Structure 1
Amino acid sequence: MTELPAPLAVHLEEFAEHLELQGGRSANTVRAYTTDIRSLLEHLESMHPGARIADLTLDVLRAWLAAQVTAGAARTTLARRTSTARTFTAWLVRTSRLDHDPAARLVAPRAHRVLPAVLRTDQARELMEAAESGAAEQDPVAIRDRLIVELLYATGIRVGELCGLDIDDVDADRRVLRVLGKGNKERVVPYGVPAAAAIEEWLLRGRPALVRPTSGPALLVGKRGGRIDQRQVRTVVHDAVTAVPGAPDLAPHGLRHSAATHLLEGGADLRVVQEVLGHASLATTQLYTHVSVARLRAAHEQAHPRA
C-alpha cells in the first residue's frame, strides 16, 4: 500500500475519525470507506505529485473511476465508490477544507440489481438437519457450527451482527436476540425452537470446552477461545452448504437472503421482514418479493402444461 503524503493523510485520518465518532458507522463500514478514499487520494497524488486536497477536482474523480473501469471493477463497486467519494467531498466542504463540492456532478453507472441465490425450503431443512447431525457427535466445534447456520437462517442477521453477539444479547425466555446493526442501531430479532435448542447445547457443552480467560462475553468463539470472526463463519457456511445436494454455494448473506425469502413466501408482512432484517429502507426489503416472484414463475414454467 502506498504511503500518502502527510497533507493528504491527515484528511483521511480525520475523515475516518468523523465516521467512527459522529457518523455512527460500523468498523467494517469505516474500513471500507477509508480504503476507497485512500485509493482516491493515491490517484490524486499520482496525477499531481505533491497535491493538496484543493487539487481534488471533478476531473480527478472521473479519472479515478475510469481507472476502476479499466481495472475491471463491477458496476456495484463503481456505484459504492462514487457514493463514498460524495460522502468524503461533502465532509470536506462542511469542514471548510474545500470551497465547493467537486462530486456534486459526479455520475456513476447504476448498479444492476441481481436477484440473490437462495435455498429452497427443502434444501434449508436438509442443511439444518445435516448441521444437527454433526453436532450429535458432541464435538464443541460441530456444536458451534450448528448454531452458526441455525442462527443465520433463523434470524436473518448479518454475519457481522452474528460475530458481535455477546451472551447477554440472548434472551432465552422470550427467544429473541438483541442485535446491534448498521449505524449502531439496535433491534430485537426472534428465533425459533430449533435455534433455541442449538443455543442451549452450545452454552452447556460447546462454549465451555473452547472458552478461555480472554474470551470475554462473546457468544461465539473460535478454537483458540477468541471471538469468532467473519472469515471463520464464511468457511463454516460454505462447508455446510456443500453437504446439501444441488444447493447453490452460499456465503452467510445467502442464508439471510433465504430467511427473508422464506418469510415472505410464508405470508409474513413486508414491514415485519424489514424490521427483522434491520433495513433502513423498505425498498431494500422489496428485493425479496422479486426473488419470490422469480421462483414462482420458474416453478410455473416448469410444471404448467401451457406455461
Structure 2
Amino acid sequence: MIADFVRYLEAERRYSPLTVRNYRHDVEQFLAWLGVDDARFEPQRITTDDIREWILYRTETGRVSAASMNREISSLRALFRWLLRTGAVGRDVVHPIPSLRTSQRLPAFVPESRMNGIVSECECDSEDFVRERNSLIILLLYTCGLRLAELVGIDRDDFSADFSSLRIRGKGDKERIVPMLEFVREKILHYIGLIERQNICISSEKALFLTHKGKRISRTAVYRTVQEELDRAGVQGKKSPHVLRHTFATHLLNSGADMREIQELLGHASLQATQVYTHNSIARLREIYAKAHPREKGGK
C-alpha cells in the first residue's frame, strides 16, 4: 500500500523527493503507533477518533510542535484522499480534522546594509573554482529567491541562450522564468568558463553547481556553504538558503515591488503564502517611524 501511495505522490502529485520522504515517514509512524505494518493495515477500520488520538499522542507524549503536527496531518490527509479515490475506504476520516493553530513567526532575513556587503564581495572574480561557485550560490539564492532544491537542480542548459533568464522547476514540477541581473549574468559566464578552463566537468554532467570532482553538488553541501558564508560575513541569527529567499522577498517588498510580482518570482501557488512578508515590511516601517517621528524623538 505504501509503495503505491509513494508512486502516486511522485507520478501524479509530482511532489519533491524530500516531501515524498516526509509523507512516507509520517504514514509509517502512524502505522507503527497503530501496531500494524503495511501488510496488516486495514484503512477501512480507521476512524476520525483514531486520528484525534494520534494527534494527542504526538503533541503530548511526543511533544511535537503544532507546525510539525500539521505536516503529519497533511500526510494522513493525502493518504486517505488517495485511499478514497482508489476505493479502499468509503469516506475520508481525516477531513473533519482541522489544522492546529500555530503562532505567526516572521521570516528571518538579512538586513539590506549587511547584504550589500556580502553581494559586493561575491561580485569579485577569481580563478578559484570553489570560491566562485560559493559566491554564485549566494548570488542566485539572493537575487532570484530560489529554494534549496531548485538551486541544486539547475542545469547549465536551463538558462536562455544569452544567459539573461533562468527556467526554474519548482514545487509540483511547476516551471517559472526568473530574470538575471547583469552582474549575476557576468558571474555565471565567468564561472562556466572556469569549469571549462579547469576541466572541472569532463563527463556528461549538466549541473550548474558541481563538486571539485565534477558531480552535481548535494543539498547538504549547499546548506553548509550558505551557513559558512553568512557566518563569515557576520550575519546574526538563523543562516540558511531559505533565509536568503526570505531576504530576496523582503528587500523587494521594501523597495516597492508589487505583491503579485513577488509571488510569481517566488513560485508561490497562492498570494497568501507571499503575504507573510508584509509583516516584515510593517515591522521595518514601525522601526523607521519610531526613529523619525517627532513625538517619538522628543518624548511624550
| TM-score > 0.5, shorter chain as reference | yes
Q: Distance in 1 between matches of 2:101 and 2:203?
A: 46
Q: Distance in 1 between matches of 2:189 and 2:13?
A: 37
1:117 paired residue among 108, 116, 137: 108
Counterpart for residue 127 of structure 1: 118
Counterpart for residue 16 of structure 1: 6
1:202 partner SS: helix
Q: Distance in 2 between matches of 1:50 and 1:160?
A: 35
Equivalent residues in 2 for 1:278-289, closer than 5 Å = 278-289=267-278
Per-residue CA deviation, residues 117-163 of structure 1 (Å, 9 max, x unaligned), is 11111111111223345x53x21011100000000101001111111
CA contact (8 A) 1:264 1:270 kept: yes
2:70 paired residue among 72, 79, 92: 79
Counterpart for residue 54 of structure 1: 44
CA contact (8 A) 1:237 1:251 kept: yes
Q: Distance in 2 between matches of 1:269 and 1:147?
A: 26
Equivalent residues in 2 for 1:1-307, closer than 5 Å = 11-45=1-35, 50-69=40-59, 70-133=61-124, 136=126, 138-171=127-160, 173=162, 175-206=164-195, 209=198, 211-214=200-203, 216-307=205-296
Per-residue CA deviation, residues 95-124 of structure 1 (Å, 9 max, x unaligned), is 111122211222331232211111111111
Residues paired across the two proteins, number: 294
Q: Distance in 1 between matches of 2:281 and 2:196?
A: 37
5+ residue gaps in structure 1?
1-10
| RMSD between superposed Cα atoms in Å | 2.1
Q: Distance in 1 between matches of 2:161 and 2:16?
A: 27
Residues 208, 94 of structure 1: CA spacing in aligned structure 2 closer, same or farther, 3 A cutoff? farther
Q: Distance in 1 between matches of 2:116 and 2:228?
A: 16
Residues 299, 46 of structure 1: CA spacing in aligned structure 2 closer, same or farther, 3 A cutoff? farther
Per-residue CA deviation, residues 14-66 of structure 1 (Å, 9 max, x unaligned), is 1110111111222222222212112112222269x954233332233222222
CA contact (8 A) 2:123 2:183 kept: no
Residues 243, 118 of structure 1: CA spacing in aligned structure 2 closer, same or farther, 3 A cutoff? same
Residues 177, 82 of structure 1: CA spacing in aligned structure 2 closer, same or farther, 3 A cutoff? same
CA contact (8 A) 1:159 1:252 kept: yes
Structure 1 window deviating more from structure 2 (114-123 vs 215-224): it is 215-224
Per-residue CA deviation, residues 214-243 of structure 1 (Å, 9 max, x unaligned), is 451111112322111211111111111112
Identity %: 35
Per-residue CA deviation, residues 165-204 of structure 1 (Å, 9 max, x unaligned), is 1001112626110000111111100121221122011101
